Amino acid sequence: MTEHSLRNVSIVGIAQIPVLKKSPLSLREMGAQVVKMAMENAGVTQVDALFAGNMLADELQGQKHIATLIASEAGLRGVEALQVRAATATGAAALRMAFFAIASGEADLAIAIGVEKMSSAPAAPVLAKALDADHETIHGATLLSQNARVMQQYMETYNVPVSVFDNFALNAHQNSHLNPNALFKDKIVTPKMVRDARVITPPLRLYDSSPVCDGAAAVVLAPTDEARAYNDHPVKILASSVATDWMRVADRPNPLDLYAARISARKAFRRANINPLDVDFFELHDAFSIVSCLSLEAVGFAKPGEGWRLAAEGEIFPTGRIPVSTMGGLKARGHPIGATALYQTCEIFLQLRGQAGQAQIKNANVALLQSVGGVGATVLTHIFAN
């Protein structure tokens, strides 16, 4: 690979709408709305390309051809529009495609938009298609059951009780109160509630997972050399990378080693020429507490078996060593699959610009974003900086 991508890329506009249990808007309306808002935010009336992330509309809305549908609904006749997917990491795949379009010189303005409307029909069986249909789903496995197994293995391997994960949920819910777009912005979650929550699949408890919801978010990208023409404080994308692991958890030498997270982070750190110590906060993929824990280890913030300490010792809190889920994360802002990484990107944009309101963390100059597709099978890493 070339030492750097050939054109540097920056974010010049963002848009997000409140995550809701059930949006009154249709999928296309949600998508078109954030596209138009993001363009307005960047001060542009036209873009060259639009990349849409959506995982579930095929089944939940009976709709393919999502990117063109949204472009059309937003009035962008003629624009390049393609859909991209990476299972539950789909939003980050849209971001990477828009990054590609700018970095390659094929576009000067590109939108990455993610949208998911999970309230239309039961989402769980559709989400399970992120697993191997012939060898996992066929035996009744779901994302939830697979993550519960990994969590169980972690607890047994490192001899820790389930309570070591409590702070992942508490931190997320605490932070979500400061984010007006968060699904659970008004929900009070106490330590006792986390401890006493019903067990969904042992040992995984309610607050160890993330909610089904509706949401859409978008960002506008431009070449860094032109970014200030659109925005007086653009945010740089220092690196974008993807890595995969064996599709089936059972095929991995060590399911507690999030190989794809490790490899994609390593690639991204090399591209950005930084290391984990340079990262001021980490928007990780806290779809399940165990994923947060393993991601902290895979990226290099903790040794194997010690990710939970960062939670238990409060180092993931906004004032800790490595704040995570600073505006609620997947757990409490919500996890509208195809939109999730775009929400995270919007939040990073706000944090780096000092515009995160009450959720603002101090000294936010370099941010890490990771998105996990399936049970660690596909991981995208993005690094952002002022």
Q: Which of residues 216-235 bind its own copies (CB under 8 A)?
A: none
Distance of closest approach, residue 225 Cβ to its own copies, in angstroms:
11
Nearer CB in complex with its own copies: 259/288 = 259
Distance of closest approach, residue 53 Cβ to its own copies, in angstroms:
10
How far apart CA 15 and CA 76 sit, in angstroms, is: 17
Q: Are 285 and 265 in contact (CB under 8 A)?
A: no
3 class by beta-carbon count within 10 Å (0-12 exposed, 13-18 middle, 19+ buried): exposed
Distance of closest approach, residue 245 Cβ to its own copies, in angstroms:
6
Distance of closest approach, residue 161 Cβ to its own copies, in angstroms:
32
Q: Does 39 bind its own copies (CB under 8 A)?
A: no
How far apart CA 224 and CA 356 sit, in angstroms, is: 23
Nearer CB in complex with its own copies: 164/299 = 299
How far apart CA 359 and CA 333 sit, in angstroms, is: 12
Does the N-terminal peptide bond of residue 203 adopt cis geometry, omega within 30 degrees of 0?
yes
* Residue from 87, 189, 293, 348 binding its own copies (CB under 8 A): 87
* Residue from 212, 222, 377, 383 binding its own copies (CB under 8 A): 377
Handedness of CA 187, 38, 350, 309 (dihedral sign): positive
Nearer CB in complex with its own copies: 170/339 = 339
Q: Does 58 bind its own copies (CB under 8 A)?
A: yes
Using DSSP's 3-state secondary structure scheme, residue 195 falls into helix
Which part of the chain contacts its own copies (CB under 8 A), choosing from 128-136, 162-170, 304-312, 345-353?
128-136
Show the tokens assigned to 143.
């994302």
Using DSSP's 3-state secondary structure scheme, residue 259 falls into helix
Ranges within 235-274 binding its own copies (CB under 8 A)? 240-248, 251, 259-260, 263
Distance of closest approach, residue 218 Cβ to its own copies, in angstroms:
17
Nearer CB in complex with its own copies: 34/101 = 101
* Residue from 204, 332, 373, 384 binding its own copies (CB under 8 A): 373
Nearer CB in complex with its own copies: 64/195 = 64
* Distance between start and end Cα atoms, the chain: 25
The strand pairing partners of 221, in sequence order, are 11, 110
Total number of residues that touch its own copies (CB under 8 A): 72
Radius of gyration (C-alpha) of the chain in whole angstroms: 19
